[in-house]
Structure 1
Amino acid sequence: MRVMVLVKATKDSEVGHMPSRELMAAMGAFNEELASAGVMRAGEGLKPSSQGKRVAFKGADRTVIDGPFAATEELVAGFWLWEVKDMEEALAWVKRCPNPMPGPSEIEIRPLYEESDFSEV
């Protein structure tokens, strides 16, 4: 089962505050554990939404929206792509993760569609 693990943005991440060296070391060690266990397929941090763009679609029309974007708690500051046995394994890994932000933060786990999900359509 593949899952996308989303680190939610905070006010600190949205203004571009970089993590402390201690947090970077802790996250590096965690990433090494994930890689050694064969779980991590990819993972990266994202720059603040002020450096991003969105494209809104309406029929054939495309509208470009410049960041920053509102609702910080709904934005993504980073991600991992993991291959796990099931959602319980993904949850167990996330519970072991260092807090990815200096203050309160959230991580969301979302399963990816697999080819087998479309075989019934």
Structure 2
Amino acid sequence: MKYMLIMRATDESWAAMGDVDFGEIIDSMGRYNDEMIRAGVLVAAEGLDDAAKGVVVDYSSQPPVVTDGPYGETKELFGGYWILDVASQEEAVEWARRAPMQGPGVKAEIRRVTSIDEFPQDNEWIKKERAWREATGQL
């Protein structure tokens, strides 16, 4: 089963990270990622750019409205993620506990990634997606 570990932080925890040497951050994340690679559980991992450089697409009206930056009242933002292929949620939790993250407000959200096999296989769009996944080596 695949699980996504979503790293979340507050404004305060981002500010605290400003005092940490970036090389140290890269080294600790590199060691953690290497451990997951050697264990055969890491599928993907990416950090996310500053939320202020992003945009938000709001679908509550038509046409959707696009605004700069994160939601106005955001208290926690996603900073990056890992996708792990593990046997259970408990195993995903154990990997999350080992992540080199610390500080007030720093959290990891763990959510199972649904599989295409969980959707109706006779659906036209599911068939097309399955064909695309097979053609691109994702199945």
Cα RMSD between the aligned structures?
2.5
Identity, % of aligned positions:
33
Q: Which has the higher helix share?
A: 2
Note if contact 2:56-2:70 (Cα within 8 Å) is conserved in structure 1.
no
How many residues were matched structurally?
118
Task: Give CA deviations for 1:20-49 in whole Å, capped at 9, x if unaligned.
Answer: 222321111000011111111111111121
In structure 1, list runs of 5 or more residues that go unmatched.
none
Cα offset, 1:18, TM superposition:
8.0
In structure 2, list runs of 5 or more residues that go unmatched.
124-139
C-alpha distance 10-19 of structure 1, shift in aligned 2 (>3 A): farther
Larger Rg: 2
Structure 1 runs of 4+ aligned residues shifted over 2 Å read 16-24
Q: TM-score, normalised by structure 1?
A: 0.82
C-alpha distance 63-49 of structure 1, shift in aligned 2 (>3 A): same
Q: Which has the higher strand share?
A: 1
Letter in 2 for 1:72: K
Larger relative contact order, structure 1 or 2 (CA cutoff 8 Å, min sep 6)? 1
Query: Which residues of 2 match residues 13-52 of structure 1 at below 5 A?
Result: 13=14, 17=18, 20=21, 21-52=23-54
